[in-house]
Structure 1
Amino acid sequence: MSSPDGQRLCKRLALAGLATMVFSSAVMAQGGSPRGAAGRNCPPPVDHASIRSCVIKLNMLQLEDDRAYLVFGDSIVEAAMLRPVCGMTPVNAGFSGAAAQHLAYNMGFLPHRKFEAVVIALGVNNAVRRPSPDIEGFRKSYEAIVNEFGANESTVLVADIMPVEKGKEVGDTYFDNDLILQLNAEIEALANRYGITRIHLHDAFAQADDNSMRPGLTVDGVHLNADGYRIWRRTIAEAVSRKLKCDPTVSAR
């Protein structure tokens, strides 16, 4: 795939799911269950989220033991080539285009099982430039996700939202770096309230002078390139290994 084609695809992935986010926000506001939509079995393959839910469930059926960790998030997660950490098999539960409201509402596909670690890495799709960002909806949905994984006695870690790059097609012209800081403050407050580990992804990627993404780490302003993913994976692996007190370089069997 050529670079322009790849950038156009990434832009479509970034735009996908915004209408669903609005719908899910309305359902959550009316007291809808975060486990409501996807059900226990593979849903009909009518859209990317439905197909992706089925694929993740099939991936999880292949786990041979409880030595697994899960990363839950948006297209940045979905595009990641996860590596074993501390001997744990990775499960990629990324949904392109999904915001916190969408992910909270569609958790029904996840089996009730304990992971040794769950990393929640989402939120950039909540930072789209708009007149009235729904910070309260983000807060409630993010907390619902934390509670859902915590109910399975998994060790939960929450990751900051990374900044976006200036001057790129899907960078700061589409996403708001100041809003990302506000959303990260909500994540920090939640982590402090629940006593869970926060992964400082924003600090790992931000320029010191203006809190934008350091140049050369994305393909389009928000989706990471190979160098960006090396930093992303290392930062997450180091945080998980510190929390679990294990060797991050040990491979899964």
Structure 2
Amino acid sequence: MRQLLIAGLTLWALTANSRLNAEPPSPFARWEKAISSFENQDEKAPPPQGANLFVGSSSIRLWDLKESFPRHTTINRGFGGSQIADSVHFADRLILKHRPSTIVFYAGDNNIAKGKSPEQVSQDFASFVKVIREELPETKIIYVAIKPSISRWKLSETMQQANKLIKAQCDKSDRLVFVDVFPPMLGDDGKPRPELFLKDGLHLNRKGYEIWAKLINPHLSKPAPEKKSAAK
């Protein structure tokens, strides 16, 4: 009996020690399924290089880019719930391999919602720019300002502070563009316009995306020329 007890305690100790020594799960592991799905899409139908690549959180993921930019070549690499650091971590697999001429980036909304400070969000954006510049120095990066929303309106001042810091970064480079979607999404009362959002008060509907598209369109890579019909 004593030997069984000793053996049991030894096994428990070994198991506990193994758990203590095991590496904690990566904070990026939750996105592996989504990233692998994009890679599977790439294998089946490789996107062209030199396109306009949209990346970031659910505001990108839910966007019908073909409807908003019918004459431009676009790639959608949005994954819902993501923060800026997630796009930095997966840059090789999501962005760099496609060698886009222009990157449209929307992230930071979730950073603020998770308690990050404006300074942290700005630093994360600087990290994103750095990882892109190391591989694609000539690629234009368009940062879409953190949007106002009904469900996160209490965070609006913090979001505006982050926007201000990121705009200051963008103003220092002609290859960085800050697109300020914040003001046109507000009504006469200074609050988010309800008609621009889905029922959750967070994500955009078609009218909301129309505002974004109008502001972003002038900064995208030149659209493909329209094909002329052959003379009969």
With the length of structure 1 as denominator, give the TM-score of the two structures: 0.66
1:94-121 Cα deviation digits (max 9, x unpaired): 1211122333233242343421211111
- Structure 2 CA distance for aligned equivalents of residues 249 and 236 of structure 1: 19
Contact 1:199 1:239 in 2 (8 A): no
Conserved in 1, the CA contact under 8 Å of 2:47 and 2:98?
Answer: no
Tell me the residue number matched to 2:166.
187
1:124 is aligned to 2:109: yes
Question: Which fold has the larger relative contact order, with Cα–Cα distance below 8 Å and residues 6 or more apart in sequence?
Answer: 1
Label 1:75 to 1:65 Cα distance change in 2 as closer, same or farther (>3 A). closer
Q: Which residue of 2 aligns with 1:50?
A: 32
**Hey, what's the Cα distance between the residues in 2 that align with 1:207 and 1:248?**
36
1:58 corresponds to which letter in structure 2? Answer: N
CA distance in 1, matches of 2:47, 2:157: 43
CA deviations 1:194-213 (Å, max 9, x no partner) are: 33221121133123553x32
User: Contact 1:117 / 1:154 at 8 angstroms: preserved in 2?
Assistant: yes
**Match of 2:146, SS?**
coil
Aligned position for 1:140: 123
How many equivalent residue pairs? 195
Partner of 2:55, secondary structure, is strand
1:225 pairs with 2:225: no
SS at match of 1:93: strand
Letter in 1 for 2:128: I
Paired AA for residue 108 in structure 2: G
SS at match of 1:65: coil
Change (3 A) 1:147 1:88: farther
Q: State the superposition RMSD in angstroms.
A: 2.8
SS in 1 for 2:204: coil
For the residue of structure 2 that corresponds to 1:194, the secondary structure is coil
The AA in structure 1 aligned to 2:180 is H
On the 8 A contact 2:54/2:75 being kept in 1, the answer is yes
Equivalent positions of 1:52-131 (< 5 A) are 52-61=34-43, 62-63=45-46, 65-83=48-66, 85=69, 87-110=71-94, 111-128=96-113, 130=115
Give the secondary structure class of the aligned counterpart of 2:105.
strand
Q: Secondary structure at the match of 2:195?
A: coil
Q: Offset of 1:129 from its aligned partner?
A: 7.2
1: CA distance, partners of 2:207 / 2:159: 22
Identity %: 19
- Would the alpha carbon gap of residues 88 and 191 (structure 1) be closer, same or farther in structure 2, given more than 3 Å must change? same
The 2-side partners of 1:209 and 1:229 are apart by: 21
Gaps of 5+ in 1: 1-22, 25-36, 38-45
SS of equivalent to 1:112: helix
Runs (5+) with no aligned partner, structure 2: 1-25, 228-232
SS at match of 1:127: helix
Corresponding residue SS for 1:198: strand
